[in-house]
Structure 1
Amino acid sequence: MSASGFARLPKPPYYAVIFSSQRTDQDDEGYGATAQRMVELAQQQPGYLGVESTRGADGFGITVAYWESEDAIRAWRQHAEHTAAREQGRRDWYRHFELRIAKVERAYGWNKD
């Protein structure tokens, strides 16, 4: 992720894994450190392109991770440390989540600066 919060991505096509979640009311319980570790670990995986993430004060968040291929997404899903983090998330951190995988065919943006 760049300093602006926007991922720097190549020209499409590529894939987006969209993770929308609602946190439980529990204290952090290691969530922040684990989330940061998952970003650091994902960055080391073949096919990783970038990430954009935000979370509101109400606990609702969206993270979009970008990948070169469905094979890269599958490999990330099977990574042991990521698997353990997912299990802990289901057990401790999330009340509800939705995961969607989409192929990005076209992308454009604008920057006033």
Structure 2
Amino acid sequence: MSESGFARTPLPPYYAVMFTSQRNDQDPQGYAATADRMLELAQQQPGYLGVESVRDASGFGITISYWESQEAIARWRAHGEHRVAQEHGKRDWYEHFEARVAVVERAWGKRQG
């Protein structure tokens, strides 16, 4: 993620994995460290392009990760350490979550500077 919070993605096409989640009221032991580790690990994966992530005070969050291909997404989803984190999320941290994959066909915006 860049300092602005925006991912720096290439020209389309590429893929977006949208992960929306609602944290539960349980003690988030290990959550922040695991989230930091998953970001560090994802950045090392072939085909990773970037990430944008927010979470509000109620625990609702949206993370969008960008990837070169469906194969890169599948490799990341199957990564051993990521699989362990996924199980923790299901069991310990999330009341509800959804994951969606889309092809980014067009992209535009405005950058300062």
Separation of aligned partners in 1, 2:14 and 2:87: 27
Number of aligned residue pairs: 113
What do the CA deviations read for 1:37-81 (whole angstroms, capped 9, x no partner)? 000000000000000000000000000000000000000011000
What is the CA deviation profile of residues 59-108 of structure 1, one whole-angstrom value per residue up to 9, with x for unaligned ones? 00000000000000000011000000000000000000010000000000
Secondary structure, counterpart of 1:75 in structure 2 = helix
SS of the equivalent of 2:15 reads: strand
- 1:86-97 alignment runs, 5 A limit: 86-97=86-97
Percent sequence identity over matched residues? 68
Q: Distance in 2 between matches of 1:77 and 1:59?
A: 23
Shift, 1:26, TM fit: 1.5
Structure 2 matches for 1:7-86, cutoff 5 A?
A: 7-86=7-86
- TM-score of the two chains, using structure 1 as the length reference: 0.97
Unaligned runs of 5+ in 2: none
Structure 1 runs of 4+ with >3 Å offset? none
CA distance in 2, matches of 1:65, 1:72: 11
Whole-Å separation in 2 of the counterparts to 1:96 and 1:6: 25
Deviation at 1:112? 4.6
The normalised TM-score by structure 2 is 0.97
**Structure 1: segments with no counterpart, 5+ residues:** none
- Equivalent position of 2:3 in the other structure: 3
Per the alignment, residue 110 of structure 1 pairs with 110
